Amino acid sequence: MEIRRIWQKLRGIVPVSCYPLLAPVYRWDRRRTIRRLEQEDADYLASHPLVTVPGAELRFNVVGAINIPGFLAGGERTAEDIETALKQAGASVERVGRALDFGCGCGRLLLEAVRRWPHVRWAGSDVDERAIQWCATHLPDATILVNQPLPPLPFPDGAFDLIWCGSVFTHLDEGRQDAWLAELRRTLAPGGYLLASVHGPSCWAGLPRPTVKRIQERGFVFARTAGDEGIHPEWYQAAWHTRDYIDRHWSKFVEIAGYIPTGSGSQDVVVGRRRAE
């Protein structure tokens, strides 16, 4: 925890280009944190033997240092964020028949989604084979698969009424984002919704001023941070967006039906819709 407090103080003065130099410290802190979480998990599961939840390392790879109750609560909050986003767009989960959690990780949302919305036929995909293996074992009612780093997905055109992308476009460069936006539009049914979280202004706090200025001027900035080098793929780094960029650029792929600041924790939520054709 002390390392994180020090980092929060230094983050605003260390250039983003220097972030990769901190990777060894990040990996050391990661190992230490996972060991602590594993000890806490053992105590929690001893008194909650019926709880189904991925292990500390898989959780850390998705959401960082979070215990079991926090992980489960995060899935509940994400489900509520989806309900709120659809409601603001004049839609409802009750009218969703088929849905995809794209970038599902180790199932934080899916664990809650299959319980909360039993009428929805859920699918989940991710590039993380270990996380997908856990989901496939513990979520038998959902279609779970590994997707490749670039399209296509093994789903037919118009397969889904709803696609959720939680903290996926926060880690891709512009070329990959465009490729996946086109592919996700393909797999959306006409009138279907794409909900995607992005690093909006609330996530710029603490970044070096030159980086914030570039985000504001360009609308989109992608940077190699390498904090989780060796854990996630090399192309999985950090991206920040402005609302104007979303309106200008993402509208080439989907109709922008809404934009919710801090609609998913500190991240903004883009509400995209495939135009009824």
Q: Are the beta carbons of 180 and 117 closer than 8 angstroms?
A: no
- The first and second tokens of residue 178, run together, are 């465009």
Give the pLDDT of residue 125. Answer: 98
Give the pLDDT of residue 237. Answer: 92
- Amino acid letter, 118: P
**pLDDT, tens digit, 9 for 90 and up, residues 144-173:** 999 999 999 999 999 999 999 999 999 999
Q: Are the beta carbons of 176 and 245 closer than 8 angstroms?
A: no
Residues recorded for the chain: 277
Whether the predicted model's global pTM rises above the 0.75 cut: yes
Give the pLDDT of residue 16. Answer: 67
Where in the chain are the domains? 73-273
- Amino acid letter, 12: G
42's CB contacts (< 8 A; 6+ apart) are none
Rounded CA gap, 246 and 259, in Å? 9
What sign has the CA pseudo-torsion 126, 203, 195, 247?
negative
Name the CATH topology of 73-273.
Rossmann fold (3.40.50)
- Residue stretches of the chain with pLDDT short of 70: 1-23, 226-230
Give the pLDDT of residue 276. Answer: 83
Label residues 177-211 b or e (16+ Cβ within 10 Å = b).
beebbebbbbbbbeebbbbbbbbbbebeeebbeeb
Give the pLDDT of residue 71. Answer: 98
Rounded CA gap, 200 and 220, in Å? 10
Give the pLDDT of residue 224. Answer: 86
Give the pLDDT of residue 227. Answer: 61
